[in-house]
Each structure stands twice: as C-alpha cells, then as structure tokens.
Amino acid sequence: MAFMNKVDQKRIDELFARGTVTDIFPSKEALTKKLLAGEKIKIYLGLDPTHTAIHLGHAKNIMFMEELRQLGNEVIILFGDFTARIGDPDKASTRKALSEEDVTRNMADWVRQISPLIDFNDKTNPATIRHNSEWLAKLSFADVLSLSSNFTVQQMIERDMFQKRLKEGSPIHLHEFMYPLMQGYDSVAMDVDAELCGTDQIFNALSGRTLMKKLKDKEKFVIALNLIANPATGQLMSKSNGTGVFIDQSANDLFGALMSLPDPMIEPLFLNCTRIPMGEKDMIMAQGPRMAKALIAKDIVKRIHGEAASVTAEEAFIATFAKGGVPDDILEIKLDGATLAEVLIKAGVIESKTEWRRLVTDTAVRTDRDEKITDPTYVPASGTILKIGKRRFVKII
RNA sequence: GCGCCGGUGGUAGAGCGGUCAAUUACAACAGACUGUAAAUCUGUCGCCCUAUGGGCUCCGUAGGUUCAAAUCCUACCCGGCGCACCA
C-alpha cells in the first residue's frame, strides 16, 4: 500500500482532467503528491441536513468522494446537524433554524438517497458518517471564545454575502459569524487531512484550514469542486432556473428530466456526473445532442437505479415521447359511479374540477387511440387509456 | 421602550377606496412545433356551479368606517431599520 501505484496515478489524472475541480489549497501539486505518496488521507465532505432536495450538484460531490474512497482514502460524510440548527448565512437573509426532529429525518433521507452513489458497506474501507453535534455541542463558552480569537471581524465581513447585506442594511446576526468557525472546527475535531466542498463553501473550508494550522500545525487541503452551470447562459443548475434535476425520482422520471435539460448542459453533465472516460468524450459529443444526451442520461440513471432500470427508462422514454405511445406502468383507476374528474382528483392526477375543465378545453385530454375529449362530463368505457397532457396517463378499469 | 418602514397568490414584486380573483417577471400547466419533458410561438394559471352567465373565498390576524376596502382607521401578531435603556 505504501508505494506509488500506476493505476492510481492514471485514475487521479483522469479525475482532475474532468475539470470539475476548480480550486485546490494550497496547490494541486501538493495534493497530487500527497495522494500518490501512498498515504491514506482523511477527507470529509459536509452535507447540510436543512433540506433533502438532493440534486445532481450534490450527487457529483458524493461521486467524487466515492472515487477517493476507492483510491483507498478514508472518506467521511459529515452531517452538519449542529450547524443546521443554527442557520447558515444565506445570500439574502438569515436562514431559519430547524428542529431536531426535522434534522434527524432529513439526515436519514440523505443517506437513503446517496447510498447508491457511495459505499458505506465496503468490507475494507467503507465511507463513514459523522455528525458535527458530536463535538460542537460539547464546546464550552470558553472554548468558543478561544476559537473565535483566531479570526477577526474584518475577515468575516469580507464575505460577499455580508458585504451585500451591509450595503442593503439587512441584518447580520452575530451567530452567523460563528458558522465558519464551527465548520472550521469540524476539521480540527476530526483531525482531517482534507475537505471537499463546492466553490460556494470555500470561505468556510478555508477557516478550517486556518484553524488546523493554528491549533494543530497541520496543512489541511481544500478541494473545491465547481457548481454545475449552463455554459451558454452561465446560470447555475437549480430549480428556479428550471434546470435542477433531483435524484430522488423514479428511473423513468430521472431519465426524462435529464433529457429535457437544455443541450448546452450535455458537456457539464458528462464531466461532472458521469465517469465515462474522457477519451470517449469527443466520440460521444460527435453523435449529436440527442444521442449524447441519452447516453449520458442513461449513465446517470444507471448510477442511481442500476443497469436494468436505466435500459427500461430509455426504452420507456422513446416509446412515450419520441413515438407518442403509452408507458407500461400506468395508474389504473376505477370510476365506481363517480365522475371522471372526481376520481382523478382523488387519485391526485389533477387538482380540481376547474383544472379538469381547463385541460379539456385545452384539448389536453385524449385517448390512446388519439380521440380528443372535448366534453368535461365524458364517461370513459372500462379499458380506456387516457393521456392528459404529455406526462399523465390513466387507465380506466 | 420610543420612532420609522413593511407583511399581497409557488417565488419575487406592483397596486394603496370602486373599473381587483388582483399588473408584471420567474416557476408551473396545456397546445403547436420538435430528437426532447429543450428552444420558440400561443393559450392557461383561486374554488364551485344547472355556465358567452352566476356564486363563494382571497391581499398578516381581529374589529371598525363606507353604498363600496388589498387599499382608510384601531388593536394585536410577525419582520426590518434607527434611537434609547442596560443605576
């Protein structure tokens, strides 16, 4: 184990070649040297249990951690359960704190969702999970004072978000200055060699670097990964931009969500979210956007739902959207004397009768034989398959 | 505690006595088109109905003024800013 491994070298090169690592502190050279020295490095990735809307931007960081784990490093997934209850400074405002139950539930949900992406059960080198309440909850006020003496107010207010708030006259709560401190102390408490984070977390990660140097005289590496953005528009992948893809959905839905992303996202997805060798990139991109996107979507679905599901998802997508067909597994509903609209509301397919009337007048409702339904009071025969819009399918039994 | 400002639909954010179920943008939904659940164009976007019409609910909460309130008044709750208090 303590010798330089050619295979590892190749793998590390490949990892960096994807261009998803934007910053390394103190330097890339130092890190590569350390990784190749055959020493097992202890690295952590902090996750925020204030929410469970896990999208590809999170997923790709987890994938990166898995890669490091496979290279033999000690990999820690750290839940900021203590910090989540305090509230992280947000761009615009102070974030609300969560209850303990919320945080616990969220953490379980995170683990469920990321489990396909990182191995917590490997026999020799499993990824481990820790919680920062383990140490942060135990600090005394004196400890906190002593920690905070390592930073100046000037360093804290230097942050963009604080500058912005100062300018706007929005509040900056004192405890928000503690956040980088707490996150920095995570590094000390776990005595890590490195931290992986998104570029948005560099400030916090670097405060950990400062603390490690001051308190332990140790050089902590910080590896910052890019945030996935649309190269054409510069917009980050996010729900509000209509480009957020959440991983907690069925194979079919995930595949569809990926296919519907704008074409300029193909390359970032390839680089960030797949591990298809870089050598194949040009060949894949040369196949045109549709093929390339499908290939990438399939690879991503495979990582989360497995090979078989990824194949079915692609087939279902082609059958349903490219050919206008009907997927296999559709909701079956029984009328039982109620009107169609009533049954659909009950099944959660539509929200209200008003919505139903709208859909009918928009000619969004048709049978599988392409007959348009124009009467809201239409009573379908048993066995009829109804398409409502592009994505809603119902079979009457 | 005092003063000032604000709380509007999924979000941002107009409106500030009738013409407001509430401008606009984003999100969402639908149609056309398409390789696509993309882009673009078009339409829709509180609920209910015996429907080119009618009814109900809605602008922090509760009252009030008025023929009429999201719009004015009062109280309360919540948020922000400033000042003070911290004998």
Which segment of A125-134, A276-285, A319-328 scores lowest on mean pLDDT?
Answer: A319-328
A354 nearest nucleotide via C1' and CA? B47
Question: Does the residue A234 lie in any domain?
Answer: no
A88-A177-A95 Cα angle (round to 5) = 25
Three-class secondary structure of residue A149 per DSSP: coil
Check residues A96 and A249 and name the one with the higher pLDDT: A249
A253 CA, B29 C1': Å apart: 17
B44: residue with closest CA to C1': A358
Residue A117 pLDDT greater than 90, yes or no:
yes
Question: How, if at all, do strands A74-79 and A42-47 pair?
Answer: parallel
Residue A187: give its domain's CATH number: 3.40.50.620
Q: For A235, which DSSP code?
A: P
Which nucleotide shows the minimum CA-to-C1' distance to residue A323?
B35
The tokens of A134 are what? 């383990």
Q: Both A186 and A68 in a single domain?
A: yes
Structural domain boundaries enclosing A338 = 331-396
Whether residue A71 is found in the same domain as residue A181: yes
In strand B, the nucleotides that come within 7 Å of a protein beta carbon are 26-31, 35-39, 43-49, 51, 79-82
Residue-level pLDDT at A87 = 53
Q: Is residue A127 scored above 90 in pLDDT?
A: yes
**Nucleotide with the nearest C1' to A364 CA:** B30
Q: Measured between alpha carbons, how far is A87 from A272 in angstroms, rounded to an integer?
A: 29
pLDDT tier for residue A279 given thresholds of 50, 70 and 90: confident
> How many domains does the structure of chain A reveal?
3
Domain boundary among A322, A346, A365: A322
pLDDT band at A1 (very low <50, low <70, confident <90, very high): very low
What was the pLDDT predicted at A90?
Answer: 44
Q: Which two tokens stand for residue A372?
A: 């348009």
Same domain, A72 and A190: yes
Domain end position, chosen among A292, A322, A352: A322
Q: What is the DSSP string of A293-359?
A: HHHHHHHHHHHHH-HHHHHHHHHHHIIIIIS----SS-EEE--TTS-HHHHHHHTTS-S-HHHHHHH
Average pLDDT, chain A: 84
pLDDT attached to residue A168 = 61
Confidence (pLDDT) at A335? 86
Predicted ipTM > 0.85: no
**pLDDT confidence of residue A2:** 43
What is the domain-level CATH number for residue A271?
1.10.240.10
**Residue A91 within a domain:** yes
pLDDT of residue A287: 84
Query: How long is the CA A342 to C1' B49 vector, in angstroms?
Result: 15
User: pLDDT category, A131, cuts 50, 70, 90?
Assistant: very high
Q: In the structure, how far is the CA atom of residue A203 from the C1' atom of nucleotide B13, in angstroms?
A: 32
**What three-state secondary structure class fits A161?**
helix
> A35 and A143 share a domain?
yes
Distance, angstroms, CA A351 to C1' B10? 14
In a domain, A157, yes or no: yes
Tell me: pLDDT of A241 over 70.
Answer: no
Same domain, A129 and A110: yes
CA A339 remoteness from chain centre: 41
Q: pLDDT at position A44, please?
A: 95
Nucleotide showing the shortest C1' distance to residue A168 CA: B81
For residues A97 and A187, membership in a common domain is answered with yes
A241 part of a folded domain: no
Co-location of A296 and A257 in the same domain: yes
The string of pLDDT tens digits covering residues A41-93 is 999 999 988 777 788 888 999 999 999 999 889 999 999 888 776 654 443 34
A34 and A171 fall within a common domain: yes
- Domain presence at residue A239: no
Tell which wins on pLDDT, A164 or A68: A68
Tens of pLDDT along A342-376? Answer: 999 988 889 899 999 999 988 899 888 888 888 88
Distance A305 CA to B80 C1' (A): 47
What pLDDT is recorded for position A240?
Answer: 55
For nucleic chain B, give residues with Cβ below 7 angstroms from it.
A 94, 169-171, 239-242, 252-253, 255-257, 259-263, 289-290, 293, 317, 321-322, 345, 351-355, 357-359, 362-364, 388-392
CA of A352 to C1' of B69 (A): 30
**Domain for residue A233, yes or no?**
no
**pLDDT for the residue numbered A65:** 94
A94 — pLDDT class (breaks 50, 70, 90):
very low
**Predicted local confidence at residue A11, as pLDDT:** 82
Write the secondary structure of A64-106 as one string of H (helix), E (strand) and C (coil): HHHHHHHCCCEEEEEECHHHHCCCCECCCCECCCCCHHHHHHH
Q: Which residue has the higher pLDDT, A300 or A330?
A: A300
- Is it the case that residue A237 has pLDDT exceeding 70? yes
Rg (CA), chain A: 25
Where residue A369 sits, what CATH number does that domain have?
Answer: 3.10.290.10
Residue A29 pLDDT > 80: yes
> Is residue A286 included in any domain, yes or no?
yes
What pLDDT sits at residue A92? 35
Contacts of A71 (CB under 8 A, 6+ apart): A8, A11, A12, A35
Q: Which nucleotide's C1' atom has the smallest distance to the CA of A351?
A: B47
Instruction: For residues A185 and A289, state if they share a domain.
Output: no
Quickly state the pLDDT bin for A238 (edges 50, 70, 90).
low
Residue pair A260/A321 in contact (Cβ under 8 Å)? The answer is no
In a shared domain, residues A21 and A104: yes
Together in a domain, A170 and A86? yes
User: Which of A189-193, A227-231, A338-342 is the least confident region?
Assistant: A227-231
Helices (H) and strands (E) in chain A, counts: 18, 10
In a domain, A237, yes or no: no
Query: Among A265, A295, A322, which residue terminates a domain?
Result: A322
Same domain, yes or no: A258 and A388: no
